[in-house]
Amino acid sequence: MRIRAVVSATLASVGILVAGWQSGAHVAGTASAAGTTSGSTGAGSTGVGSSGSAGSSAQSSGTAGTTGSSGSSGSTGAAAKAGGSYAGDVVQTRFGPVQVQITVSGGTISDVTALQLTDDGGRSVQISNYAAPLLREEVLQAQSANVQTISGATVTSDAYLTSLQAALDAAHL
């Protein structure tokens, strides 16, 4: 019973740390994809581990935290309506990095360009060359990152859509 409590407390601590780290990394990644910001405000998250005790004298505790900060533009939505190009985050995969860029015109996505695609080996290049045009068409049709992944190109599709979402966030779409 004592071991179970220690394991539960440790898992809870790790879960909180991971959630805080991911939200901090996402916020920081979105800020870097946005480029320059004006009138920035800080935002962050702090993770605190839980403590657990079992028995009369054994105790396990942990505290740790991560912080993230982001700048936000003073005129939300104005950048998207004006148009322009927005690069998404570089998403690292086991097959290589993926990054996309969107072109916005009149508040809609007019083009999606793959700046980097997975390139670790010949098969990876084939998969990227197959998946990228299909994903581009789906995104242009849906006008969002809410599209199906390409069967047989799951890793590439997920990374493509993650980078796309960062670009959409930077464009305030």
Domain assignments of the chain as residue spans, ordered by start: 2-60, 78-170
Mean pLDDT of the 29-44 span: 39
CA pair distance 134, 128, nearest whole angstrom: 10
Query: Each residue of 63-95: pLDDT tens digit?
Result: 444 334 344 343 444 544 568 999 999 999 999
Cα(159)–Cα(118) distance, rounded to whole angstroms?
9
Q: What is the dihedral of CA 17, 118, 99, 130, to 10 degrees?
A: -130
CATH architecture of 78-170: Alpha-Beta Complex (3.90)
pLDDT recorded at residue 33: 42
On the 0-12 / 13-18 / 19+ scale of CB atoms within 10 A, 151 is exposed
Distance CA 99, CA 77 (A): 23
